[in-house]
Amino acid sequence: MRKANKIVSILVTLCMLLSIMAPAFAADTTGLTVPKVKTGDERRLGDLLLVETVQGTTYSTGGDFVLTVELPTGVEFSEKADVVAEKNGSLVTVPANVKDKPNALATGDVEVKQVGSNYVTFEVKSATGDSGGKAGFVFNLSKYDVDIASSAAGDLKVKVKAEGTPFESGEFLVGRASKGDTTVTVATPETIGRDSAKAAQIKIEENAVGTFDVNDEIKVVLPKDIDWDVTETLKNISAVGFEIETPSASSFSGDTLKLVVKTKSTKYPGFVTITPVIDADDDFKAGDVEATVKGDNITSTDVVIAKVADYDVMVKLDDNDVKTVVAGVFDNEIDQINIEETVADSFLKNRTITLELPDYAHFTALPTDMTDESKVYTEGGITYTVSYDSLDKLAKDSSRSDKKYPSKITLRAKDNAGKDAETIELDGIEIAVDADAPAGDLKLEIAGTLGIKAELVIAKVVAPVTVKAANKDVKIGIQNQTIGDIQIVESVDGAITKDGKYLYVKAPTGVKFSEVPKVEVASGNFEVDTIKFATSDDDVLKITVDEESTKAPSTIVLKDVKVDVDRTVAVGPMKFSVYGRAIDEVSETDEDVEDNAIKFVAGNVVTPAGSVSAVFSIGSGIYTVNGVAQVMDVAPYIKEGRTYVPVRYLAYALGVSEDNVQYENGVVTLTKGDKVVKLTIGSKTMDVNGTTSTMDVAPETNNGRTMLPARFVAEALGATVGYANGQVVINQ
């Protein structure tokens, strides 16, 4: 579909804004703190605030409520007796305010009813606090030790069972547990070159307060052929929550950085961050840089801190979208082309990158905002210019014969001071592909003084139409020979354009169309205006386009095409062509349009029309086959304007053997090669290979002999029939 002809449908929808009512029981129950703890005994979790779900209605009828809070699976109180002893003391607190509202409960309104090894049951009595307030209380879980099984590592959620009460049931986070002493994480690794560059930040985090002891060691070990930039790395080391001895050059020994803990964490788990600055030796194979983090209270962990890449520039499609483009179309869109540095400063100063199309393709729209060859463009730290092999014209119009469209883009780096790898984006590109361009991959050739030698598939080329024909055999020197239907099938909807107006079907030299065939649209919403001869030689059909297809590719069928073949046509495939501005916007002249036609075979010239195969004389029992006289026991005759010939002798004359002439229940069957012809005595219907047609007379019996209408049978078996001077002449 041509961009100029695209129909843009804008659907305007008026939407009614619906109010979404928040449920009256929006969750207010929550863990007040979520400490990070280590699995094991005598740990502390966070406190839980329990809040009624509907303010002001909780105690309107009075009464007491019972609810239970279960500890997370795998968690139990370390000393149940301690909890029981203080169950009405430190275990419950009734705050003065709940969620910025006065508390409907007062001290004493909440009591601990029962304590188990992994649960506590509370009784909430009739409220004696602020009658207009919101009821809530705190389960002081942080004041009691719990034992956490290793299987409970992860989020620790208590389960509140409050069915039948105004409080919310559910699970609520009160801590996170891990099995290890510390957790090692790393930021997303960057791609770097071989010069000094920052790697990804490493974070070594305590899983619980006081994990690291004084004088514990934290080590980071680099792989072989990766070196520390000591001065720069020292600028990127810090500790939070505890102190480390001040790092210095002496902290580095070969491939290892060693940090020493000076004081323990006391209030919250601490962590250390290290951003290595490293050099890659020439012997280091490009790829991941994997460092090892180990030390006291640290499980040895390998982390990827960088990816080393050699200096290079890659040319890629942005979405890896290899679009289908139609040959003969002026403005095919293609995916954005990205020119990507693998590492910073890969696109060297004063070097070039060229992008060149094959000789059958050209740029008809240049990269967005990159049409000024005198301008210096900037992408990050790169400054560059863009030039083209031709900028004569870039707009389609009616007089294009003297214009040359660009097929080559050259980018030249003026300077490159970038600290990061940059990407130059070439979007908005459109291309024209010649009508006779080869189908398949369209490859962009990438070269230039930067030293790149590569190809990038940017599109798949398809012909605007494909043509199908029956490819029947024809003979030279014979007129009005049927070659059957010719189907012209669009590759995409709109491939045959209304703007182009005309589509031509041309016969080869020495062949003419016997008549203008009927045309119909077998599928799609394409519409034909007229079909007629384009020349007085009757060798070109001209189809005028009324409406182009818009919903799906259409199929146009020329029905029952008949041709006249003169004696100059060579034996072999009979090649026709389809062309015209309707499928070729690109060719400069009308002569070029015809030269770039799509060729197809619509018939096969097999043998020349030569001597007469058989001659039957009306009323005579003598007939000749290739000039040799033969005797029949019944003579041909004329009835209702048609010549009847005895079936047996007609079959012999047409080359049908005696074994291939069958009679059964009034049906005559003649078989020759891959053709089977069936005729029924008294019926005007003839069956050829399962396809029926109607004759204007019917076979009959005369004096005990089956008589067939000569012309219909002969033509069904590929012969031609003529009548002159009382003789039926059959050419085989």
> What is each CA distance from 83 to 74, 248, 445, in whole angstroms?
18, 50, 78
Q: Is residue 22 assigned to a domain?
A: no
Last residue of a domain, one of 259, 292, 308: 308
Render pLDDT for 277-288 as a digit per residue (tens, 0 to 9): 999 998 999 899
**Quick one: pLDDT at residue 391?**
63
- Domain assignment of residue 35, given as a range: 30-178
Number of compact structural domains in the chain: 5
Closest CA to 488 of 330, 593, 602, 604: 602
Tell me, yes or no, whether 701 lies in a domain.
yes
> Has residue 78 got a pLDDT over 70?
yes
What is the mean predicted confidence (pLDDT) over 367-392?
Answer: 87
pLDDT of residue 669: 95
Give the CATH number of the domain where residue 717 resides.
3.30.457.10
* Whether 399 and 259 share a structural domain: no
Helix, strand or coil for residue 352?
Answer: strand
Sign of the CA dihedral running 316, 318, 320, 321: negative
Mean pLDDT of 154-175: 92
**Averaged pLDDT, 136-140:** 93
Encoded tokens for 727: 């003789």
Model pLDDT, residue 81: 72
Q: Is residue 5 part of a domain?
A: no
User: How many CA atoms lie less than 13 Å away from 304 in the CB half-sphere?
Assistant: 10
The dihedrals phi and psi of 487, each to the nearest 5 degrees, come to -105, 125
Once rounded to an integer, what is the mean pLDDT over residues 160-179? 90
CA-based nearest residue to 68, from 89, 81, 50, 93:
50
pLDDT of 60 > 60? The answer is: no
The whole-number average pLDDT for the span 306-315 is: 88
274 pLDDT higher than 90: yes
Strand partners, 583: none
Residue type (1 letter), 703? N
Shared domain for 285 and 382, answered yes or no, is: no
Q: Which two tokens stand for residue 451?
A: 């030293």
148 shares its domain with 190: no
Mean pLDDT confidence for 523-550: 94
Determine what percent of the chain falls in helix, strand and coil, rounding each to the nearest 5: 5, 45, 45
Considering only CA atoms, which of 329, 323, 326 is closest in space to residue 499? 329
Q: Is residue 404 very low, low, confident or very high in pLDDT (cuts 50, 70, 90)?
A: low
- CATH number of the domain bearing residue 362: 2.60.40
pLDDT confidence of residue 27:
58
- pLDDT computed for residue 501 by the predictor: 84
At position 591, the amino acid (one-letter code) is E
Which pLDDT does position 401 carry in this prediction?
42
Query: How many residues comprise the chain?
Result: 732
- Provide the token pair at 515: 């008549």
Residue 600 and residue 618 in one domain: no
Q: Is 25 inside any structural domain?
A: no
Q: Are residues 233 and 287 in the same domain?
A: yes
Whether residues 84 and 208 fall in one domain: no
Q: Residue 25 — pLDDT band, cuts 50, 70, 90?
A: very low
Q: Edge-to-edge strand order for the sheet containing 700-702?
A: 637-639, 642-646, 705-709, 700-702
**Is the residue at 490 inside a domain?**
yes
Is pLDDT of 338 > 50? yes
In DSSP terms, 218 is beta-bridged to 259, 295
Q: What percent of the chain has pLDDT over 70?
A: 91
Rounded to an integer, the average pLDDT of 614-641 is 90
Give the whole-angstrom CA distance, residue 157 versus residue 148: 12
pLDDT at 478 over 50: yes
Q: Is the pLDDT of residue 465 over 60?
A: yes
- Tell me: do 547 and 414 sit in the same domain: no
Residue 13, in any domain of the structure:
no
* Same domain membership, residue 426 and residue 357: yes
Same-domain status, 360 and 433: yes
What is the domain-level CATH number for residue 193?
A: 2.60.40.740
Q: Which one of 431, 462, 493 terminates a domain? A: 462
Pick the last residue of a domain from 122, 143, 178.
178
pLDDT at residue 63 in the model? 58
Give me the pLDDT at residue 718, please.
Answer: 82
Q: Are residues 710 and 629 in the same domain?
A: yes
Question: Residue 311: helix, strand or coil by DSSP?
Answer: coil
pLDDT at 707 over 60: yes
Give domain status of residue 141, yes or no: yes
**Do both 378 and 470 map to the same domain?**
no
pTM over 0.75: no
Q: Which strand ranges, in their side-by-side order, compose the sheet holding 237-240?
A: 182-186, 202-206, 271-274, 237-240
With cut-offs at 50, 70 and 90, classify the pLDDT of residue 132.
confident
Same domain, 598 and 628: no
Q: Please compute the mean of the pLDDT values over residues 8-30 and round it to a whole number.
A: 39
Element housing 363 (H / E): strand 361-365
Q: Using alpha carbons only, how large is the chain's radius of gyration in Å?
A: 46
Type of residue at 42: E
Band of pLDDT at residue 176, cut at 50, 70 and 90: confident
Q: Mean pLDDT of all residues in the chain?
A: 87
- Whether residue 531 is predicted with pLDDT greater than 50 in this model: the reply is yes
* Domain-located, residue 601: yes
What pLDDT was estimated at residue 114? 87
Q: Are 460 and 325 in contact (CB under 8 A)?
A: yes
